[in-house]
Amino acid sequence: MCADALIGHENRAVNPALKGWGFVALLLSLLLVTDAMAAGGPRAAPVVVDLVSERMMAPTVMVAGSVVSRLDAEVAAEMAGRLVWLAEVGDRVARGDKLAQIDDVSRRLEVDEARAKEAQVKARLTFLDKELKRLRSLAKQNNAARTMLEQTESDRDVARADLAAARARVQLAEDRVARSAPRAPFDGTVVQRLLEPGEWADSGAKVVRLVNTEQVEVRAMVPLSSLRFVSQGARLRVLANGEQQLARVRLLVPVGDLQSRLMDLRLDLDSTQWSAGQSVRIAVPTAQAVKVLTVHRDAVVLRRSGSYLYRVNGENRAERVDVTLGIAMGDYIQVSGALAAGDRVITVGNERLRPGQLVSVKGGARE
């Protein structure tokens, strides 16, 4: 047998053994990988949790309302006349700023006339004071001078009264000039012109509408049945355009309209994120508030078969808890089920969980 044939024969004799050892090595590798996976376990699902808490809640009814300014006035002319100037719509003014100007030429002439009359009376009074001084010296020497002294004293007293009247007429004329320019009763924005320059304004005619856009409140008409459950100072939830805030009850008029059976409710807003004229909805309580178990809305999983949530147990595993939903207020909702205050419930990452699945708390409330 040639050498090449011998070598090939030997190789064919050894190959089965090599293949057997390769299978064993592969099996050992698989066992090691399996053991490693068993030691590490499945990866925990990252979640965010919040605590079950007790809150005071009451059933509510949503009532339509509006954001309005607490300072909204149609400013009127105090003096009749032709309008020569008017503030522009959109102008922001401070209290005391001029809003309009009525032609006051004739009234300024009246001021000049009154001042001239005042000066005339003042000059006569000055003359009489000097005359009295002279007559007092003469009265010591003869009776005739004494008689003239008494007459001059009387004239001086009349002149003093005339001067007071003249000064009053000056002030009256100046006041007419001042009131020819209607002024802002508060800080605000001109939102409407009710007359235009060149038009005649009667005394009392409204010329501009002024609104303070910073001091706003919510006004609504609410059922009389809510009177027992709403008190001054209470905070109610107000919603608009997907946003919400708590507003304090400033005023509740406990008298209902005879036709609508509704009463006036006014709420203070803590911020000016909403503009005057905007429509809002107010959650008005219809029963007494009671203490209930609540969870964050995001903790509840809604399905056709019912509602449930996942609680994190002491082993960091997700436990499914079926719940019945109740009153909702803001981000929290009443739940009834096998829960207790302080339980950790999953608010983020709960949609794809399985009961008993290991979880890793990455944020939210902690025990």
- How many Cβ atoms sit within 10 Å of the Cβ of residue 159? 19
**Does position 103 have pLDDT exceeding 90, yes or no?**
yes
Residue 153 is predicted with a pLDDT of 86
Q: What is the rounded distance in angstroms from the CA atom of residue 163 to the CA atom of residue 174? A: 17
* CA distances, 67 to each of 127, 185, 213, 354, 359 (Å): 67, 21, 10, 47, 46
Residue type, 132: L
Decide: residue 43, CB within 10 A, 0-12 exposed, 13-18 middle, 19+ buried.
Answer: exposed
**Does position 23 have pLDDT exceeding 90, yes or no?**
no
Kindly report, residue by residue over 329-364, the tens digit of the pLDDT: 878 999 999 999 999 999 999 988 999 999 999 876
What confidence tier does 144 reach under pLDDT thresholds 50, 70, 90?
Answer: low
- How many Cβ atoms sit within 10 Å of the Cβ of residue 24? 9
Lowest mean pLDDT among 164-173, 224-233, 358-367: 358-367
What confidence tier does 64 reach under pLDDT thresholds 50, 70, 90?
Answer: very high
Quote the tokens at residue 92: 């922001």
- Whether residue 191 contacts residue 213, with contact meaning beta carbons closer than 8 Å, is answered with no
Q: What is the rounded distance in angstroms from the CA atom of residue 217 to the CA atom of residue 249? A: 10
- How many Cβ atoms sit within 10 Å of the Cβ of residue 256? 17
Overall pTM surpassing 0.85 (yes/no): no
Kindly state the average pLDDT of the residues 61-89.
95
What confidence tier does 365 reach under pLDDT thresholds 50, 70, 90?
Answer: low
Quote the tokens at residue 228: 């027992």
Quote the tokens at residue 26: 């592969």
Quote the tokens at residue 322: 């079926």
**3-class secondary-structure state, position 228:** helix
Quote the tokens at residue 262: 């509704």
Which residue stretches of the chain are H helix?
3-40, 105-138, 143-178
What's 351's DSSP letter? T
Q: What is the rounded distance in angstroms from the CA atom of residue 249 to the CA atom of residue 236? A: 7
- How many Cβ atoms sit within 10 Å of the Cβ of residue 296? 23
**Does position 212 have pLDDT exceeding 90, yes or no?**
yes
Residue type, 10: E
Residue 128: which of 97, 175, 92, 162 has the closest Cα? Answer: 162
What confidence tier does 143 reach under pLDDT thresholds 50, 70, 90?
Answer: low
Angle between helix 105-138 and 143-178 (nearest 10): 160
Percent of the chain with pLDDT over 70: 85
Q: What is the rounded distance in angstroms from the CA atom of residue 336 to the CA atom of residue 117? A: 89
Residue 363 is predicted with a pLDDT of 72
Q: What is the rounded distance in angstroms from the CA atom of residue 81 to the CA atom of residue 331? A: 59
Angle formed at CA 283 by CA 282 and CA 288, multiple of 5 degrees: 145
What confidence tier does 125 reach under pLDDT thresholds 50, 70, 90?
Answer: very high
- Whether residue 89 contacts residue 194, with contact meaning beta carbons closer than 8 Å, is answered with no
Quote the tokens at residue 296: 């964050």
Kindly report, residue by residue over 259-291, the tens digit of the pLDDT: 888 999 999 987 677 888 899 999 999 888 889
Kindly state the average pLDDT of the residues 169-194.
95
Residue type, 254: P
What confidence tier does 30 reach under pLDDT thresholds 50, 70, 90?
Answer: very low
Kindly report, residue by residue over 2-21, the tens digit of the pLDDT: 334 433 443 444 444 434 44
What confidence tier does 73 reach under pLDDT thresholds 50, 70, 90?
Answer: very high
User: All domains of the chain, ordered by start, with CATH?
Assistant: 45-58+290-364 (2.40.420.20), 60-70+215-285 (2.40.30.170), 74-98+185-211 (2.40.50.100), 104-179 (1.10.287)
Q: What is the rounded distance in angstroms from the CA atom of residue 234 to the CA atom of residue 225? A: 16
**Does position 160 have pLDDT exceeding 90, yes or no?**
yes
Kindly state the average pLDDT of the residues 235-241.
89
What's 88's DSSP letter? P
